[in-house]
Amino acid sequence: MAVQSKAFCAGGLAPGWNLLVQGHADSGEDRFETNFLLETGDIAFHIKPRFSSATVVGNAFQGGRWGPEQVSSIFPLAPGEPFEIEVSWDAEHFHVYAPEHKVLQFPRHQRPLGAITRVRVLSDHGLAQVELAKRGLSWGDQGY
């Protein structure tokens, strides 16, 4: 997969910031993922839509091992269609949204947000926009 976007977060992540990824699912291949990285190289949060099973998987890679996968059957991507995924975080969880759906909530596993200093989006699909910004969600978090 090609690295489509990288962001460095001086001082690490903080509540109130969101990641917005918009693009076009060119094919039905499992060729898209987003990783929230620690300075150590561990992955605090890994999101991977899987076309083959129509699921979205969340996981963490720490200490040289993948943790247990958290799987959501809410699948916001369709081959040949545009998509939009928004990720927010708070003191305890990462939250993944697609228009009108909360897709996944993933625990942060005791890592402080400030230790997450990089975000990397890998994709062979066309990405129109990757934005890391402090703002409210466009949609989502309506009491879920």
Mean pLDDT value of segment 79-83: 84
CATH placement of domain 2-134: 2.60.120.200
* Structure confidence by residue, pLDDT tens digits, 35-64: 999 988 899 999 998 888 889 999 999 999
Average pLDDT, the chain: 83
* Calpha distance 105→94 (Å, rounded): 6
Q: Which of 7-21, 42-56, 130-144 has the highest mean pLDDT?
A: 42-56
* Structure confidence by residue, pLDDT tens digits, 122-131: 887 677 788 8
